[in-house]
Amino acid sequence: MSSETVSFVREQDTDARITPALLTAVLAWWALAALMIFWPDKPAGFAAPRFVSETHQLFLALAILLSLTVLAGRFLALPVLRQWLQHTARWLLALALLIAIWETVTAKLAWLPVPFFAPPRALIEAYATDWPRLGDSVLHSLRLLALGFAFGSISGFLTGVAIGWSRGLGYWVHPVLRFLGPVPSTALLPLSLYFLPSSFSAAIFLIALATWFPVTVLTWSGVASVDTRYYDVACTLGASTLFLIVRVAVPASLPQVFVGLFMGLGASFSVLVAAEMMGVKSGLGWYLQWAQGWAAYANMYAALIVMALLFSSLITLLFTLRDRVLAWQRGLVKW
């Protein structure tokens, strides 16, 4: 066997080994499961706790799953899985420690007042008992967000292309954009409720407005900054005005258009929650207000976790779309 082959085998063995950080993370999750199962809870409040055994079983299953995943990455030819585990090992350890602290100060020692600070089992109870209402709220929020973001993105893109291409149109629209654009969309809530027929349409308008401003500004900037030599070459080949806009200006401005979409999507999230707290009958914002009104703080925390996962997934989906459309700039903007 040559020295190069021996070196390659050693490198493969080094990559496949279980790192100390990963081993510590696995042991931390087993310690967390043991803490929950063998350390009795301290009584707090008047009602007996529910879903205690289900919570213990869940975290024990997570510890087993993590152990099996680590073993699979160690003994099977799964380099992608090994790299992911090694990269996330410290986060897995930190997550186990945070949950252990959370469980200790709430369920085990009852240092934090009830019901404002709920133990992990209360979140499991909220998901298990109130998932129909929470799921319905997610669907309503997605529908409202999709309509508002779609209208705002399309109108912002068309406005940005128009004022970026036409100086005459930009002369009239630019002052209006500078005057109304920075105004928070939620400040126009009373006017939208007065002029629009329902709270649902008012919420769509506010989300669209919050999306429209950054998409318009970034699209306008992208179209206006296209190198004029591109137009000269296309005109030399006999391109029409429509061809210059659709096939030259728009593709060249797409990097900034996606930045505007990202900013508009982030703005639409805050407007969505605020709009759903004013008049709608379902949605994550409505659910937060409902849970707070009934002092169901565990349900409120459960909705916040769902909201964070949902919004983060939507932004990740937008960046995935960006990497596919702008393949030559893949990975240039990180998320």
**pLDDT digit string, tens, across residues 271-286:** 998 888 776 778 999 9
Instruction: Read off the tokens for 240.
Output: 């029409």
**Residues 136, 107 share a domain:** no
Q: Does some domain include residue 37?
A: yes
Distance CA 289, CA 91 (A): 32
Q: Does some domain include residue 88?
A: yes
**Residues 109, 158 share a domain:** no
Q: Does some domain include residue 319?
A: yes
Distance CA 96, CA 91 (A): 9
Residue 18 DSSP one-character state = P
Listed residues 64, 82, 114: the one ending a domain: 114
- Kindly tell me the number of DSSP H helices and DSSP E strands found in the chain: 13, 0
**Residues 289, 159 share a domain:** yes
Listed residues 114, 139, 174: the one ending a domain: 114
pLDDT given for residue 228 in this prediction: 85
**Residues 201, 79 share a domain:** no
**Angstrom distances, CA of residue 50 to CA of 54, 102, 128, 277:** 9, 17, 11, 30
Tell me which residue range forms the domain holding 74: 3-114
pLDDT given for residue 332 in this prediction: 67
**Residues 7, 98 share a domain:** yes
**Residues 180, 67 share a domain:** no
pLDDT given for residue 103 in this prediction: 95
Q: Does some domain include residue 334?
A: no
Mapping DSSP to helix (H, G, I), strand (E, B) and coil, where does residue 203 land?
helix
Q: Does some domain include residue 335?
A: no
Angle at 331 between CA 143 and CA 250, to 5 degrees: 65
Q: Does some domain include residue 293?
A: yes
Residue segments in the chain with a per-residue pLDDT below the cut of 50: 4-14
pLDDT given for residue 31 in this prediction: 97
**Residues 149, 283 share a domain:** yes
pLDDT given for residue 326 in this prediction: 86
Residues 183-198 as b or e (16 or more Cβ within 10 Å = b)? eebbebbeebbeeeee
Q: What is the CATH number of the domain that holds 242?
A: 1.10.3720.10
Distance CA 285, CA 270 (A): 10
Q: Tens of pLDDT along 81-112?
A: 888 999 999 999 999 999 999 999 999 998 98
Angle at 184 between CA 183 and CA 186, to 5 degrees: 135
**Angstrom distances, CA of residue 216 to CA of 78, 160, 257:** 45, 4, 8
Q: Can you give the pTM of this predicted structure? A: 0.85
**Residues 166, 76 share a domain:** no
pLDDT given for residue 200 in this prediction: 86
Q: What is the number of domains present in the chain?
A: 2
pLDDT given for residue 124 in this prediction: 93
